[in-house]
Structure 1
């Protein structure tokens, strides 16, 4: 299951994001999204967890929690096409 993680502190990197979710189960990938020109974090990322049950546990546990003074938004990631349709 792909998980969206928003409102991350700009200093959070892929390893930090992976560590946040690894306590809930296996993490296949953890990617903080960066600006392609500056390399600066955009303040959100995605985590892939193979087990849907573990992913749902992580979402339940981490959504609306404080991390480094910021309230995280954690939910199931929506497909790109779905988001693009919402803009119009």
Structure 2
């Protein structure tokens, strides 16, 4: 699922596909699979308490950000994931 505002940003693939006239909407089966994943995630986590944590600083490379890893560790330890 894609936020429609992403189509307006010049650096994202959907925008480039629209400009190149190569954009094709997802097939109905793909949409149904994505919807099922979203519903399963909502059902799995809807009764859990939210975990809040403040992360200070900038993370230009999110996959290398220590603050995000600390938040992930907090949530997985407390949730038994």
If the length of structure 2 is used for normalisation, what is the TM-score? 0.22
Name the structure, 1 or 2, with higher relative contact order (CA <8 Å, separation 6+). 1
Bigger radius of gyration among the two: 2
Which structure features the higher share of strand residues?
A: 1
Which structure features the higher share of helix residues?
A: 2
If the length of structure 1 is used for normalisation, what is the TM-score? 0.21
